[in-house]
Structure formats: structure tokens, C-alpha cells
Chains A and B, each alone.
Chain A
């Protein structure tokens, strides 16, 4: 039963074919078996999860009885938030609003999921807490920084995950673990009670086994019903330059699927080539500002290098980036009036740990997990 989609499991629970308790027990059994190998969870509350599942009986929430793994940068009441850090900790008394909304819809919060240090990385490696393993092949990275929620969901240790995304931290691990990852628009899901990385880009989003599951979780996270358009042949703009770096068979597969779904046409963004420069400048500067009070702590070397460099970004450079960001937003807004949605390059192929992952820092050494 822990291989069901969240939508199918919720329907089975509503119809009485399956109980929330049975489902949670199956998920916890999988956690006991696989977590020592995959390291998806950094904190599991089995008794608490079973108590939540018992309390679900008779409820009709959209996610009633669905076990969820929450990334360890998002507060869950009574559990430590460690953010994948060496020393930094907090013990929140309240759930982050995003978690509270999932609970209100009936979700069972199983535990806290592995993350890159302070969510600052996209490979699922962490020198303080060990690496999170890809469930399909332990020699390949699982992606991050929402590594734990992705691996837990892919491996049947949860039916869905809750992550955060600043530079791909939901989308990359979702892609590398065969899941659907949704990065909502900034501000659409509350991010109070979430350890920030860069406030201009931080969002909270779900990692799921199907598009239908992503819609279910997003509705809960957004705090109410979300309009769903029934589109016969949506107009899909293809940002061709973003496919150039993709391997041919991946690009062909994505475009074939898109062609089945709607009407395809190329779309160009003149300012797109500046987006990475904007993103780097803004993220480095904002992350450095957030971390300034903690910089005496122990950090992985690659993270420390980014933070120290970010502290030295001139104010004028940060403001130039935010000005350029407005120009890019305006161009995107114009295109949004024409196209239903865009297809962009899928995330890179799985890269072997034994090589040097493109996303990993060169000094990301592994240590045993701290007690």
C-alpha cells in the first residue's frame, strides 16, 4: 500500500478499503528497512505518526491519512529543526503554516527529511549528516536540497514530501528520483517557520508521485481551492535554448510528451541569458546576509566560500541584479499572456558520485553523522 499515489490512497481510505493506520504502519516498516541505507530521514517519530493516523479515522480531509516527509528546514512543532547544519538548531513550538495546512487536510507527518546544509546545494550531499542515497542506484546522486522528502517519497517511506526550492531544490531531486516536483510562485505558499536561504526566491513546494498528487498537496498548501483549468489543447511554448544542454533522448522524450498534450511552438526570451547572473548575485548576497549571525559556526567548505563571497557583493551589484530581475519578470509577464505554459529543459542526467557531480562543491567531504 505504500506504493500507492496519495490520491489513490486517500480514495481508498475514504471508501474504507484501507485505514490510515495500516498505511502509516506500512510506511514506518519501510522506513525501518530502508532508512539505514538511504538516509532519507534525519528524525522519525513513529509513535507520533501512529497517533496521528489513529486520529484521522472518520475524517474527510483531502489528505486524510497520507504520510508525509517534511524537509528539515521547515518547522514541525516539538521536533528539532537542524537544517542539515553542523551546529545550528532550533526547537519550534509551532508548526510552520505549510505543515499546519497539510495537517489540517489530514496528512500524517512522519518525520524530518535530509537536506543539503542550510538548503544551500542541489546534490543531496551533506558533510555533517552524510549523503542521502538515490533509491534507484546508490552510485548516483539523488539531488537536493530537498533530498530526504524526494527519496522518502520515491522509496515508499512516505506518500509525498514537503520541500523548499530556491534554485531547483524541489525540481532537481524530483527529477532525479522519478517524481513530480512543483515550485509554486513566490508568496503563494506561506514560508513562515522555514529556515530561509534567499528571500527573493525561496518557496515551499510538494514532491509527489503524480501530477494529481501535486495538485492535491498544492491545494492544501495554498490554503483552499485552486482553480483547475480544463484545457483541450493547451498552447505550450518551448524555450528552445534551454533544451540545448539536455541529452538528445531526454529532450526528444520531453518534447514528444508535450506534443501529445498540446500545441507546441518555439518561444524566445531575450533577457533569459541574464537570469543566471541575476540569480547568483541575489542568492549569494541574501544568503550571506541571513547567515551573518552564524558565521562562527562550522560550515562545509563550499558553503562557506559562497557565504564569504556573498558578504563582499557590493550593494550596487545587488541592486543592479534586482533591477535586471524586474526587466526579466516584465518580459515573462508579457509571454504569459500568450502561452498556457512553457516547457523548459529537464534537469540534468544522473551523475555518478565517483565523478565530480556538476553541482557538488569540490570540498564536500563526508563525515559520519553527528549524534
Chain B
């Protein structure tokens, strides 16, 4: 397999992975997200 073919195949896999992530995003739109503050990266454990 030459470099070009390897790159094309990698790009195809990246596109598939991204499509799966965007499908996840579409599902999240089922939730009532409007007006919700994004969660903090480190929640207060106490």
C-alpha cells in the first residue's frame, strides 16, 4: 500500500468516526438543553 492509499484510508476512518460523533450530537438534541449551563470540567465532589 503506498503513502497516498494509506492517507486516503486513514481519512476515510476519520470521517466515519466523526460521522458517529455527529450522530451522537443529534441524539443529544432530544434533551431540553436550552438555557442549561454546561457542566464544569471538575465537579465539586463535596
Contact = CB atoms under 8 A, between A and B. Distances in A.
A320 B28 contact: yes
Interface string A319-356: 11111111101000000000000000000000000000
A181 B41 CA distance: 23
Contacts of A322: 38-39
Given A317-B21, A323-B33, A305 B44 contact: no
Given A186-B42, A187-B45, A284-B21, A324 B28 contact: yes
B37 A326 contact: yes
Given A317-B21, A325-B39, A327-B36, A308 B14 contact: yes
Interface string B15-46: 00110111011011111110011110111110
Contacts of B24: 276-278, 280-281, 317, 321
A277 B23 CA distance: 9
B10 A274 contact: no
B13 to A, nearest CB: 5
Chain B interface size range = 20 to 34
Contacts of A276: 24
A355 B16 CA distance: 23
13 contacts: A186-B43, A187-B44, A200-B41, A200-B42, A281-B28, A284-B17, A284-B21, A312-B18, A313-B21, A323-B37, A323-B38, A323-B39, A327-B33
A320 B10 contact: no
Contacts of A301: 10, 13
Nearest to A185: B45
Contacts of B45: 185-188
A360 to B, nearest CB: 15
Interface residues of A, number: 36
A200 B25 CA distance: 17
B18 A277 contact: no
A294 interface: no
Given A309-B21, A321-B28, 20 more contacts: A188-B45, A271-B31, A274-B28, A277-B25, A278-B24, A280-B24, A301-B10, A304-B10, A309-B14, A312-B14, A312-B18, A313-B18, A317-B24, A320-B25, A321-B25, A322-B39, A324-B28, A324-B31, A324-B36, A327-B32
B17 A305 contact: yes
A128 B2 CA distance: 22
A146 B45 CA distance: 23
Interface string A241-284: 00000000000000000000000000000010010111011001
A312 B19 CA distance: 10
B22 to A, nearest CB: 7
Nearest to B11: A308
User: 3 closest A-B pairs (Cβ-Cβ)?
Assistant: A322-B38, A277-B24, A309-B17
Nearest to A199: B41
A269 to B, nearest CB: 13
B46 to A, nearest CB: 9
B9 to A, nearest CB: 9
A43 interface: no
A316 B14 CA distance: 19
A326 B36 contact: yes
A80 B27 CA distance: 42
B36 A274 contact: no
B29, B41, B45: residue with the most chain A Cβ atoms closer than 10 Å: B41
Nearest to A329: B39
Contacts of A319: 38
Contacts of B41: 199-200
B28 A277 contact: yes
Nearest to B32: A327
Nearest to B36: A323
A306 interface: yes
Contacts of B27: 274, 277
